[in-house]
Amino acid sequence: MKHIPFGPAPLTIDDIVAIAHGNARAVLDSSPAFRARIDAGSAFLDRLLAEEGVIYGVTTGYGDSCTVGIPMHLVAELPHHLYTYHGCGLGEHFDAPATRAILAARLASLTRGFSGVSWGLLEQLAALLEHDILPLIPAEGSVGASGDLTPLSYVAAALCGERDVRFRGQIVPAAEALAAVGRKPFTLRPKEGLAIMNGTAVMTALACLAWQRADYLSRLATRITALAVVTAGGNPYHFDATLFSVKPHAGQQAIAARLRADLMDTNSQDHRLQDRYSLRCAPHVIGVLQDALPFFRSMIENELNSANDNPIIDGEGERVLHGGHFYGGHIAFAMDSLKNLAANVADLLDRQMALLVDARYNNGLPANLSGATGERAAINHGLKALQISASAWTAEALKLTMPASVFSRSTECHNQDKVSMGTIAARDCLRVLTLTEQVVAAMLITVRQGIALRERTENGALPLQAAAAQFVADLNGQIPFISEDSALEPTLRELLAAIAAHRWALYD
């Protein structure tokens, strides 16, 4: 298994996704210089405590309680109280990949070396990943500043042997799982509870997963569009290179180039002059997502590789710096924007499907793309219900595009009076992607059926380039031709699993 070092080197979205899906292992950088940097921060805090210095969240209460001094003999208990009173999350628990991504994102921030944590804490957090001890983290309860406090309290508690975890296929007490791998519950040092909880790890982890899914969505929606053009007997010259050279958005041009790579140049102008917008303008819709992906990658990876708790501990410069790096505004913006773009792709594909199943617009194919013939055609309804479901999924995706980041609430006695809502935005984005992938699955059935029917017409189907033709052959092997009405849920679920696994290699 690939080892991904957590230390001075920057991490990528791909690193977090690989760890999330169990394809890579997180390891701490073994260089002496990195260890010395970590030790410098915790040693500096020890000296301040010995001098009875005032340190937010160490010798004071939290948030609005920062004016409350903590007696020195109670300082060691403060981290336990922090994760205890934040144990109030609700909603569904994050699944295993999301939880691994959360652990990895928090480890990434702490290994920046500006959180004042001990080497032992990093080892304990890395051990959760190594042994796949996954805290049960409720998804709801974070406003995204002062970071993901409530969900990350479940990480802190698990490190200390409290609350429940997923381990070896079961839900067990954290202390039991730690004991099974030869580790003891960790005792948090001053500042370490705050360092674990006060940051953007949850929203950033979810953003990494969302970005990777959106990138694949862009590719898959493009391939489906090419097949929709073939099903409709459409005009492949809508994606001409010269045409797109005069509107030079790079992402839009890339989508048009991918469509040209799928659709064979027939050297014939025997096509309708103009297809409807959902076919003709597909590069202009998917292209916006394609253009935004590099920007979102940069934004997410900047957050991933940041120290984002408070206060920042500069061990080498011996300074305690109070700020607001726990604020998740960048992730909130990225996720609010990405869910909008994904929902637009769902809407595009839904409109394509509506054209393809309608005998008034599909240019000679049967209504609802039914494969039934003869007298049995009267009792068969083809993809009628599937189109209704796709429309429902699209409507729900579009409904969720309301930006979460504009719903800031003043919380915690008006100390947290402007918050990011980044975690809600990220959760919404993942839901929109799930709904969009469901529309994609419906369209895979649609184009598989449609191309088979188009091939039976007098003029046949437009030829496809090799990669797209192989894709259709793969679909034909997975999706039976529908000559009689059948319940499509099992096929849809198989296709969703294939989409999640990125089964098809799409473009370079």
Which residues of the chain fall below pLDDT 70? 56-57, 61-68, 266-271
pLDDT in tens, 388-444: 999 999 999 999 999 999 988 888 777 777 888 999 999 999 999 999 999 999 999
The burial of 83, by beta-carbon neighbours within 10 Å (0-12 exposed, 13-18 middle, 19 or more buried), is given as: buried
Beta-sheet pairing, 2-6 with 24-28: parallel
Q: What is the pLDDT of residue 272?
A: 76
- Residue environment code for 391-422, b if the CB has 16+ CB neighbours within 10 A, otherwise e: bebbebbbebbebbbeebeebbeeebeebbbb
Catalytic residues: 56
- Intervals of CATH 1.20.200.10 along the chain: 207-309+327-439
pLDDT in tens, 69-103: 778 778 788 889 889 999 999 999 999 999 999 99
Whether the link from the prior residue into 146 is cis, omega within 30° of 0, is yes
Comparing C-alpha atoms, which of 202, 199, 177, 181 is closest to residue 16?
202
Q: What is the pLDDT of residue 267?
A: 58
> Residue 185, SS3?
coil
Is 150:102 a contact under the CB 8 Å cutoff?
A: no
Is 400:432 a contact under the CB 8 Å cutoff?
A: yes
As a dihedral over the C-alpha atoms of residue 48, residue 50, residue 51, residue 53, rounded to 10 degrees, the angle is: 50
* Cα 134 to Cα 177: distance, rounded to the nearest angstrom: 10
Comparing C-alpha atoms, which of 184, 183, 186, 165 is closest to residue 174?
165
Angle between helices 422-455 and 384-399 (to 10 degrees): 160
User: Which residue has tokens 């500043």?
Assistant: 145
Q: What is the pLDDT of residue 65?
A: 65
pLDDT in tens, 309-360: 989 999 999 998 989 999 999 999 999 999 999 999 999 999 999 999 999 9
pTM higher than 0.85: yes
54-to-73, 215, 325 alpha-carbon distances in Å = 14, 47, 20
Token pair of 451 as six digits: 């191309």
Comparing C-alpha atoms, which of 269, 264, 280, 285 is closest to residue 232?
280
User: Which residue has tokens 């260890």?
Assistant: 35
Q: DSSP assignment, residue 246?
A: T
Is 393:299 a contact under the CB 8 Å cutoff?
A: no
> Residue 166, SS3?
strand
Q: What is the pLDDT of residue 61?
A: 62
Q: What is the pLDDT of residue 63?
A: 64
The domain 2-199 having CATH identifier 3.10.450.50: the answer here is: no
State the first-to-last Cα distance of the chain, in angstroms, to the nearest integer.
25
Residue-by-residue DSSP string for 105-151: HHHHHHTTS-S---HHHHHHHHHHHHTT-EE--EEE---SSS-SHHH
Q: What is the pLDDT of residue 360?
A: 95
Q: Domain 207-309+327-439's class?
A: mainly alpha
The total number of residues written for the chain in this structure: 508
- Intervals of CATH 1.10.275.10 along the chain: 2-199
Q: What is the pLDDT of residue 238?
A: 95
Is 41:315 a contact under the CB 8 Å cutoff?
A: yes
